[in-house]
Amino acid sequence: MVARPPVSIHGQVPPAAERARLRAAQRDVVSTEIAHYNPDAVVCIGVPFGHTRPQWILPYGGSIQLDGAAKTVTASYA
């Protein structure tokens, strides 16, 4: 899993097209690099965790499951 990158700085929010371009550039680089090492890896890019808004809270000590076929992300907080 790779978090969605923040693309604004202290209230300076680029236009929607620029935000999409910046996020797509990151997605492309990450996908290319992972494919070099494991082309069969399940990769999920753009999940809203980390320093982004809105923000998912990740389970500390829990588990996260990626299902590539179903295109789902499931978190367990137990």
Q: Tokens at residue 63, please?
A: 């588990």
Residues linked to residue 2 through DSSP beta bridges, in sequence order:
45
Return phi, psi of residue 37, to 5°: -95, -35
For residues 66 and 54, give the distance between their C-alpha atoms in angstroms, rounded to a whole number.
Answer: 20
Residue 78: pLDDT band (50, 70, 90) is confident
The pLDDT tens digits for 11-66 are 888 999 999 999 999 999 999 999 999 999 988 888 887 776 667 777 677 788 88
Cα atoms found within 13 Å of the Cα of residue 19, Cβ hemisphere only:
13
Return the pLDDT at 25: 94
Question: What is the number of structural domains in the chain?
Answer: 1
Q: By residue range, what is the domain housing residue 60?
A: 2-76
User: What pLDDT score does 59 carry?
Assistant: 67
Element (DSSP H or E) covering residue 31: helix 16-37
